[in-house]
Structure 1
């Protein structure tokens, strides 16, 4: 199952907090296919078939295809001075 670093968890909580309608929601990752990659969005709740990953209160919702594709990955993030976030995936050690 996908895991998150502490930095990624903080980034997810920060992003979700910016969307008042999704205050108790999470970051949804959808596998949009080989040509497009993954789509990220803030969602107020998971879809019925989503896998929910929780780390330090941060919630990530994975659609079925993303859950399979990211099964052995770690989500990390880099927080920039201007408030932007860059997410990265690494293999689980």
Structure 2
């Protein structure tokens, strides 16, 4: 299962501030199909049917089934600049 670092949790909660989203909203990660399969991140008011839901310290992440499988051994981390939006990254879990 995808793990969330404390920095990622803070970044997700900060993204929700000022948005017109319900309290149980979260960051949704989907796998875009195609030749250059990539991940797409967006804010979502609720998980979709079949999504895996990960919660930590009031931050929620919704993973579509393909993304959940791909990221099962990863951790979501973030770099948070003083201004601007966070940059999420997915280093492999150690140990």
Assess same fold via TM > 0.5: yes
Q: Distance in 1 between matches of 2:62 and 2:30?
A: 8
Task: Tell me what 1:60 maps to.
Answer: 61
Q: Distance in 2 between matches of 1:14 and 1:88?
A: 16
TM-score (norm 1): 0.92
Q: Distance in 1 between matches of 2:68 and 2:54?
A: 10
In the TM superposition, residue 83 of structure 1 has moved relative to its aligned partner by: 2.8
Number of aligned residues: 93
Task: Tell me what 1:15 maps to.
Answer: 15
Q: Where do residues 1-93 of structure 1 align in structure 2 (5 Å cutoff)?
A: 1-33=1-33, 35-93=36-94
Higher strand share: 1
Q: Distance in 2 between matches of 1:87 and 1:25?
A: 18
TM-score (norm 2): 0.90
Give 5+ residue unaligned stretches, structure 1.
Answer: none
Give 5+ residue unaligned stretches, structure 2.
Answer: none
